[in-house]
Chain A
Amino acid sequence: MLDAVLNFYSIGLAILGLTALYRAYSGPSPTDRIVAMNMINTMVTLYILIYCYRFNQYHYIDVALLLVLAGFVATLAILKLLRDGRII
């Protein structure tokens, strides 16, 4: 029963991510797009963990850990670009 619940749960996560993608497409300011990007990053992290339990491939947990770190660094880079006009 739990496997079927997790299948529908991943579909629900995909719906939430696509809804956040609408805000990333039509955000009036660049900061809106950054907020939507963070939300999509969270959804993808949760989806990777559910996939890793559902198909018994536990080394995908490292991918989720790296995705959280890479999302943080990407957000910092884009914010520095918005503030200073250059990244480095």
Chain B
Amino acid sequence: MHAVRDIIVLILLIGGYFFLAAGVIGLIRLPDVYNRIHAMGKCDTLGCGLVLLAMILLIPGTSNIIKILIIIGLIAVVNPVMSHLIMKTAYESGTPMVKGTVTVDVYDTKKGKLPQEEGEQQ
């Protein structure tokens, strides 16, 4: 019984470490703020979720398991929100992108209006 549990826990831990290491390597190697935010979102959600599932299999007690489930849900909800807010702040404060990026500014974030609406008003 415990041998099967240990093998499942090992597989989950190794998978989680793969995602965490991929996120950290992306954080070091990628050339841009926006690319690094992309690496961080994947790493945090998937790696943290897999390691916490392994901890659910290990730790006894119903209340402890419920607390870890709350942590998983919290990370799954909070982490995309945080990535989006960091990305929006970096874009509004004019952080330079990597050379060769093609952007289309659909939404003018400074004024809060679409540029087509401004043209129609003039």
Contacts and interface: CB of A to CB of B under 8 A. Distances in A.
Contacts of A38: 40, 44, 82
A13 B48 CA distance: 12
A82 interface: yes
Interface in B79-111: 82, 85-86, 89-90, 92-93, 95
Interface residues of B, number: 41
A45 B71 CA distance: 10
A65 B67 contact: yes
What is the predominant secondary structure among interface residues of chain A facing chain B? Answer: helix
Q: Is the interface of B mostly helix, strand, loop or mixed?
A: helix
B43 to A, nearest CB: 7
A39 to B, nearest CB: 6
Contacts of A36: 27
B78 A68 contact: yes
27 contacts: A2-B10, A9-B17, A12-B17, A19-B24, A19-B28, A23-B36, A29-B90, A29-B95, A31-B86, A31-B89, A31-B95, A35-B27, A35-B36, A36-B27, A39-B23, A39-B27, A42-B43, A42-B48, A49-B52, A50-B55, A53-B58, A58-B59, A61-B59, A61-B64, A65-B67, A68-B78, A83-B92
Given A23-B27, A35-B27, 9 more contacts: A2-B9, A31-B86, A38-B40, A43-B20, A46-B20, A46-B52, A72-B82, A75-B86, A82-B89
